[in-house]
Structure formats: C-alpha cells, structure tokens
Structure 1
Amino acid sequence: MDDQIELCHEAPDAEEYTALRLAAGLSPKDIAGARIALKQSIYVVTLRGDDGQLVGMGRIIGDGGCFYHIVDIAVHPSQQGRGFGKLIMKALTDYLDANAHPGSYASLIADVPADQLYLKFGFEYTQPKSVGMYRRY
C-alpha cells in the first residue's frame, strides 16, 4: 500500500467493514447486522489508501445525548505501527470534545494492549467501581 492515506467520515460498506475487522483480529460480524449497524453510527472515521482500500476505521455509537460508545477501532495489520490508531482516536475524541453534552458519558471496551492508547486520550479504567460486561449472541 502507498504511503498516502485519506481520512474520511463515510461508513465503509458492510463487506469491507467485516473484512477489516477480521484482518485486524476483531470478532466476526454478520453482514446483514453490519449493514444496519453502520447506518446507525453517530460518527465514523475511515482511513483509505491511494487505491481506495479501507486500511483503518473507528466509530461512535450511542444515543447522541447522554451516552457515546467508541467501537470498531481497527487498523489493517499491513498498516499497523504507523500511528493510524492515534489518528483515528484523535478524530473520534475531537468529535466528542466538540459535540458531547455536559455530563455525558463516553465509554469503550479496550483489548490489551490497546488500552495503553486509550489512556493517552483521557479514558480511565472503571475498576474497581464498575466493570465492563457483555453478552454475545
């Protein structure tokens, strides 16, 4: 891939989204579910190479007033280590800084060692006061 990367704010299509997630080591997602989910995003950041190939992304989902959740932070393995995760997180947190309402809550679930990146953007561990929980279907 070329060194030229374009930052965009349009959601990828479901097929390239699911492919990037798998390549980056994230859990697989159903294509039909992905089509619905991507349309419901509050804010999307994508990174594309000169060839238009999706090389990274991140999204904010939530209710847009009180709760925001950062998801899908992914960078293709061929492009990792170039600061693209930081670029994505900066764009997402800049959006929140400009648009989140006072008293709102932004959250994310961090895979280790990515938690170290999120700490740099002001995110804190919830333990011992609270813990993240999930239920997979």
Structure 2
Amino acid sequence: MADLPQGYRLLDGPPPVDEYLALRRAAGLTPPSRAQAVAALPGSWSACHVLHEPTGLAAGMGRVLGDGGWYFHIVDMAVLPAHQRRGLGDAILTVLLDRIRRQAPPGAFVNLLADPPGRGLYARHGFTETAPHSLGMAMTLR
C-alpha cells in the first residue's frame, strides 16, 4: 500500500455516496445527481479512497472504469482542498495503477481526462498528452 501521512488511511472501494458527492463538489468536479452516483459506484473496476481518521470522512478518492482486459479509464480523482499537497492524490493513483499493472494483460490501454490541477500528478506517473494524434471528445446526454 501507499505511504500516507499520519491520520490518513487508504481504504479499498469508493467512499459512501454522500461523501463521494461532497468530494466531487469540494474538489471542483461536476457533481452527478445522487441517482447517477448510486448507479456508478458499484460499476467501478477498481476504486479506493483515503479516510481522514480524525473526522472519519473521505479526504480523497479515485476509481477505474474498465473491461478488465484492454481499456482502463481513471476517473473521480479528487482530494478535498484542505487535504491537498500531502501526497494523497499520488497515493491513490499509485494504488490504482498498481492494480492495473498486476491484473491487466500486457498492452492494456490506460487513459484519463486531465484537468489543469492534476496534469503534473499524471505526468509524474507516466501519462502523456495524446493530441494531436488523438483528441478527447465528450457529450452530455440531456
């Protein structure tokens, strides 16, 4: 497991739904509806979160969506602003990537969408920009 500062513990699985929603909101990520969160969290290929032991609440999280063989998409990387710059995001990403390395066949494709605050973290872990060869595209269903 990853090294964390005193007072933090890494737990397997996503945080509870209410904490998941609060983490996304506080970290500046678009919060899904409660119904979306309830449906999404059990669909994770892998997930982990960091518990802040003094409060008993999740301070950070990350998930992987994937098919177990070829594609793995890192999502929901978030750390509460009051807990940033302590290595929590690095620990979460390390755990998720280690799981992929252990369980995925060679040649698996791992990707993510990188907002500006996380780009340095992702680059330190070996992620590179794909443009201009490929460009991320998105659509939100209404």
TM-score by length of 1: 0.94
Are residues 1:31 and 2:48 paired? no
Which amino acid in the other structure matches residue 107 of structure 1? N
The runs of at least 4 aligned residues of structure 1 exceeding 3 Å deviation read none
Are residues 1:122 and 2:126 paired? yes
Correspondence for 1:107: 111
Kindly, what percent of the aligned residue pairs are identical?
41
Rounded Cα–Cα distance in structure 1 between residues aligned with 2:112 and 2:87 = 19
TM-score by length of 2: 0.91
Query: Deviation of residue 83 (structure 1)?
Result: 1.1
Gaps of 5+ in 2: none
Rounded Cα–Cα distance in structure 2 between residues aligned with 1:44 and 1:118 = 17
In 1, are the aligned partners of 2:61 and 2:79 still within 8 Å (CA)? yes
Correspondence for 1:59: 63
Task: Report the secondary structure of 2:105's partner residue.
Answer: coil
Rounded Cα–Cα distance in structure 1 between residues aligned with 2:135 and 2:121 = 19
Correspondence for 2:85: 81
Which amino acid in the other structure matches residue 95 of structure 1? R
Rounded Cα–Cα distance in structure 2 between residues aligned with 1:136 and 1:3 = 40
Query: Structure 1, residues 31-90: CA drift from partner, whole Å, max 9, x if none?
Result: 111111100101111000113211000000121111000000000011011111111111
Are residues 1:9 and 2:12 paired? yes
Which amino acid in the other structure matches residue 13 of structure 2? E
Gaps of 5+ in 1: none
Total equivalences in the alignment = 136
Q: What is the aligned-residue RMSD (CA, Å)?
A: 1.3
